[in-house]
Amino acid sequence: MKDFENKVAIITGGSFGIGRATAIAFAKRGAKITVADYIEDMETVKLVQAAGAEALFIKCDVSKAMEVKTMVDKTITAFGRLDYAFNNAGIEGPSAYLHEYTEENWDKTIGINLKGVWLCMKYELPHMLKQKKGVIVNCASVAGLVGVSRLPAYVASKHGVIGLTKTCALENAKLGVRINAVCPGVIDTPMIDRITGKDKIVEMKFIDMEPIGRMGHPEEVAEAVTWLCSDAASFITGHAMAVDGGWTTQ
């Protein structure tokens, strides 16, 4: 199915995990892709090209306004338009109780996870509004819907992403731009590997959080993102869609 043919998508945090899987999913539907990440890794670009789509890599720290603006400007220069954006870049931050958290760690986590989503939308929206059509999907987390001990900045940032999504969706609902968020549960990605240290006992504790009995796959989140961007979701805006095995229903 090539329903995204001649369309253009930006994927931040695109070098690994959910970002990589989503870039490939967009490519399979025909979209041209900008893969953005602060880590220079061309593997996602190669995989997108192998799927038959055009791809561009841009190094970008989403917490820095001029780097985000440059990312969007380069996308427009290369491809001529912007139809979809998956604002996915994020970090988990250190694990510590709130009263032990350092200001430096708080600022870095909030800067990438929350400020970064704001900056991305700030520079993506004008191009979509000019076209009178576009879709943005922000990556929150089930930690944006519930509390998680020892991840205060991460949880606060992901709650904030949902709030930004709902506000921006209201502002643009009648202007042709839809904005939603996905809230992944425990997904088998490099982030989970960092959190668990690849310790099998710790991994099982995370798996036990999902009533379905396993971690999710990045491709399952990618399917939700591309569906939200498709015409099948044309009446959906301002929603935070949980993509998990039942964690948020407990």
Q: Is residue 3 part of a domain?
A: no
Is position 2 within any domain?
A: no
Digit-by-digit pLDDT tens for the chain (250 residues) are: 799 999 999 999 999 999 999 999 999 999 999 999 999 999 999 999 999 999 999 999 999 999 999 999 999 999 999 999 999 999 999 999 999 999 999 999 999 999 999 999 999 999 999 999 999 999 999 999 999 999 999 999 999 999 999 999 999 999 999 999 999 999 999 888 888 888 888 889 888 888 899 999 999 999 999 999 999 999 999 999 999 987 666 5
Whether the Cβ atoms of residue 228 and residue 137 lie closer than 8 Å to each other: yes
Residue 190 is part of which domain span?
8-249
Number of structural domains in the chain: 1
Q: Is residue 92 part of a domain?
A: yes
- Among 148, 222, 231, 235, smallest CA distance to 243 is for 222
Q: Using alpha carbons, list the distances in angstroms from residue 25 to 47, 82, 165, 221, 246.
A: 10, 17, 22, 10, 24
61 is a domain residue:
yes
Neighbouring C-alpha atoms within 13 Å toward the C-beta of 58: 25
CB 179 within 8 A of CB 172: yes
Q: Which structure tokens are listed for 46?
A: 């190669």
- CA torsion sign for 221, 202, 143, 86 is negative
Quick check: is 158 in a domain? yes
- Kindly list the catalytic residues: 154
CATH number at residue 103: 3.40.50.720
pTM score > 0.85 for this model? yes
